[in-house]
Amino acid sequence: MTSRQRFLAACAGETLERPPLWVMRQAGRYLPEYRALKAKSSFLEMVRTPAVAAEVTLQPLKRFALDAAILFSDILVIPEALGQGYRFREEGGIGMEYRLETRAQIDALAPSHAVPEKLAYVSDALTLLKKELAGSHALLGFGGSPWTLATYMVEGGSSDEFERIKQLFYTDRGTFDALLTKLTEALIAYFKMQIAAGADAIQIFDSWGGIIAGPDYEAASLRWIRQIVAGLPANFPVILYAKGTAPHLMDQAFTGVRVLSVDWTSDLAVVRRSLPPTIAVQGNLDPVLLNTTPEIVAREASRLLASMRTTHGHIFNLGHGIMPHAKIECMQALVDTVTGWKN
């Protein structure tokens, strides 16, 4: 069984001899080869240059026995394609070129049909990767959820309190819905483009889904995710990662997605038993563990694997993205533990 076959079988809910393995942010700052490449180009230049984006995507696969590659890109390419650029602040975090403050600004955002042309570099990178992988590994595309993208666009960048986006949601639902409609349409076009370029699965990152009040999660985020999944080819593998939304896992299971990626605060075995058998699960080792020792990583990964023994539809991953100071030897211990596991 190839790595790609193993990954797709897990998405389909099959029971395997071991779960497939990939790691969120597996291409990035913890790798010395990434840092060497980053010294020559800015992050945005790397994302916008297909050959470089493909090279960075493949770096972790050349070092570790992973089962999937995820495109090196950023969720904020969508706001950029719609006319609202982004940058990385010197003090840390994201800064948008401006923040959305009026309905007129939202109406002036580019239409969804402009997205494939403006983000052609993403399609070109995926095409290069598909050729390079030649069916050996699964190739993942991704994007942010409409709600998560809207938080950056309305706040003007990274935020601690998310006051502006919440005020918009509660005080002017018509304008909020207009923005989320634009984002939903843009993401459908974007994901269709990624699928056409060879992506085997799409992961939706609802990174800020957990900051909205529980009773409002449906109206603020989940209804838009449901529309995106309905707009994609039937039964195409879509993974939803929504940090901090454990109370909504059952609702997420009925959005049409095939896989729910679970953060580290939940007991994954309990989640597996609580969800419909048609839904696969992904996760959910605490990423901080990769900053400790190989022995601790092997112990905790084995404990998670044992809790999931004989279950079906499990993709091994972290509960969030790998951290910049993760140790190579800890990542290697994780890979060795999972790839050597027998259910």
- Give the residue extent of every domain in the chain: 3-339
Mean pLDDT of the chain: 97
Q: Residue 46 and residue 73: Cα distance in Å, rounded? A: 8
Cis before 291 (ω within 30) = no
Sole residue written with tokens 């992988």: 133
Q: What is the pTM of this model?
A: 0.97
CATH of span 3-339 = 3.20.20.210
Picking from 91-95, 166-170, 201-205, 322-326, which range would have the lowest pLDDT averaged per residue? Answer: 91-95
Q: Please name the residues in contact with 317: beta carbons below 8 A apart, sequence gap of 6 or more.
A: 21, 22, 23, 24, 261, 282, 283, 284, 285
pLDDT band per the 50, 70, 90 thresholds, residue 343: confident
In percent, the amount of the chain with pLDDT more than 90 equals 97
Per-residue pLDDT, 91: 72
| Phi-psi domain of 201 (left: phi exceeds 0; alpha: psi -120 through 50; beta: other) | beta
The CB density around residue 218, as the number of other CB atoms within 10 Å, is: 15
Q: Kindly report, residue by residue over 149-192, the tens digit of the pLDDT.
A: 999 999 999 998 999 999 999 999 999 999 999 999 999 999 99
Pairing of strands 280-285, 314-318: parallel
Q: Residue 220 and residue 213: Cα distance in Å, rounded? A: 9
CA angle (114 as vertex; 102, 194 as ends), nearest 5: 115
CB 334 within 8 A of CB 66: no
Taking the CA atoms of the chain, what radius of gyration do you get in angstroms?
19
What 3-state DSSP class applies to 46?
helix
Structure tokens at 330: 């800890």
Per-residue pLDDT, 220: 98
The CB density around residue 66, as the number of other CB atoms within 10 Å, is: 23
The count of residues in the chain is 343
CB 247 within 8 A of CB 260: no
DSSP class of 323: P
Distances (CA, A) of 139 to 7, 60, 201, 268: 10, 13, 7, 24
CA angle (247 as vertex; 243, 251 as ends), nearest 5: 95
Q: Kindly report, residue by residue over 276-323, the tens digit of the pLDDT.
A: 999 999 999 999 999 999 999 999 999 999 999 989 999 999 999 999
What 3-state DSSP class applies to 285?
strand
CA angle (335 as vertex; 261, 138 as ends), nearest 5: 55
Q: What are phi and psi of 143, to 5 degrees?
A: -170, 170
